Amino acid sequence: CKRVLEDCTILLHHLYINRQEVSPVMLGPAYNHTMETPASFLLAGIPGLQSSHLWLAISLSAMYIIALLGNTIIVTAIWMDSTRHEPMYCFLCVLAAVDIVMASSVVPKMVGIFCSGDSSISFSACFTQMFFVHLATAVETGLLLTMAFDCYVAICKPLHYKRILTPQVMLRMSVTITIRAITAMTPLSWMMNHLPFCGSNVVLHSYCEHIALARLACADPVPSSLYSLIGSSIMVGSDVAFIAASYILILRAVFDLSSKTAQLKALSTCGSHVGVMALYYLPGMASIYVAWLG
C-alpha cells in the first residue's frame, strides 16, 4: 500500500508539473479572451491574375468614375427639375445615392490593391466596410420593393396615385427601409466583432465580405453565418414575394386594358423594372448560397 501511495504521489506530481507547462489556450475553450486580435487583414484580391493587375485597376477606376458621374447626374437632374419630383424619380434618386455609397465602400480599396499591391486593411476599417456594403444591399432590396409598389399604384390605381403616394408616405417608406436594414445588420456586426481572430489574417476576397471573414475566426462561425443566411433569405424572400404579387396584379390590370398602345406602354415601363430586379436578385442570392455552402 505504501508503494502504491508513493506511485500515486509521483504521478500526481508529474501531472501538476505538466499542467503548469500546458498553454492556457490549449486548456481553454475555442473562444479565449486572451487571444490577440490582428491589427489588420490582408485582402487576397483576385489570385492568379497578378500580371493583369494594372489593367484591372484601370478598368475598375473607369467603371467607378462612370458610376459616380452617372449617379451624380441622376441625383442632380431629379433634384433640379421640379417636374420630376414624383415618387418613382425620388426612389430612383435614393437608389443612385445608395449605389454611390456601395461603390465608394469597395472600389477605391480594390484599385489600391491592384495598383500598389497594398492589400492590408485595418481591423476597424474592414468591419466598417463590411457593415456599409451589407447595409447598402439591404437598403437596395427595400427600394426595389417600393419601386414595384409605385408601379402597381400608377397602373392599377392611377386616379388615387397622388393621394396614396404622398411625400409623407414616401418619407415613411424610406425611413422604414433604412431602419429595417440597420436592424438587420447590427446583430451581425456585433457577432462578427466578438469573434476571436488568432490564425490567418488573409481574407480570400477583394473586400471584407462576411462569410470570408467568418471563416478566419478561431471560434465557431456558424451562428453568424446562419444569421446572415436566414436573415438575407427572409428579407429578400419577402421582398421578392411582394414584388411578384405586385407585378401579377399589374399584368392582370394591363391585359384588361382595351388599348394595345396603353398595354405596350405599361409593359415597357414595368419590363425594365423586372429586368433590373432579376439582374439584382438572382446573382446576389446565388453568390450568398454558393459562398455559404462552399
Among 40-44, 89-93, 188-192, 288-292, the range scoring the smallest mean pLDDT is 288-292
pLDDT band at 13 (very low <50, low <70, confident <90, very high): very low
Confidence (pLDDT) at 294: 61
State the DSSP H helix or E strand holding residue 122, giving kind and residue range, or none if neither: strand 120-122
C-alpha cell read off for 51: 500580371
Confidence (pLDDT) at 37: 64
Rounded to 10 degrees, the C-alpha dihedral 168/174/175/179 comes to 160
Confidence (pLDDT) at 182: 94
Q: How far apart are CA 168 and CA 170, in angstroms?
A: 5
Among 143-157, 194-208, 256-270, the range scoring the smallest mean pLDDT is 256-270
Beta bridge partners of 266: none
Beta carbons of 105 and 127 less than 8 angstroms apart: no
Among 34-48, 144-158, 174-188, the range scoring the smallest mean pLDDT is 34-48
Beta carbons of 281 and 240 less than 8 angstroms apart: yes
Confidence (pLDDT) at 70: 93
Which pTM was predicted? Answer: 0.76
pLDDT band at 35 (very low <50, low <70, confident <90, very high): low
Mean pLDDT on 61-87: 89
Domains of the chain: 36-293 (1.20.1070.10)
| Percent of the chain surpassing pLDDT 70 | 85
Beta bridge partners of 40: 122
pLDDT band at 197 (very low <50, low <70, confident <90, very high): confident
State the DSSP H helix or E strand holding residue 121, giving kind and residue range, or none if neither: strand 120-122
pLDDT band at 19 (very low <50, low <70, confident <90, very high): very low
Confidence (pLDDT) at 252: 85
Among 69-83, 133-147, 214-228, the range scoring the smallest mean pLDDT is 214-228
Predicted confidence (pLDDT) per residue in 265-293, tens digit: 777 777 777 777 777 777 777 776 776 66
Mean pLDDT on 3-31: 38
Q: How far apart are CA 11 and CA 181, in angstroms?
A: 59
Q: How far apart are CA 60 and CA 49, in angstroms?
A: 14
Strand, coil or helix: what is 120?
A: strand
What single-letter amino acid sits at 40?
S
Q: What share of the chain is helix, strand, coil (3-state, %, to 5)?
A: 80, 5, 20
Predicted confidence (pLDDT) per residue in 37-68, tens digit: 667 888 887 777 777 778 888 999 999 999 99
Greatest C-alpha distance within the chain: 108
What single-letter amino acid sits at 30?
A
pLDDT at 113 over 90: no
Q: How far apart are CA 149 and CA 180, in angstroms?
A: 17
Question: What length does the chain have?
Answer: 294
Residue 37, exposed/middle/buried by CB under 10 A (0-12, 13-18, 19+)? Answer: exposed
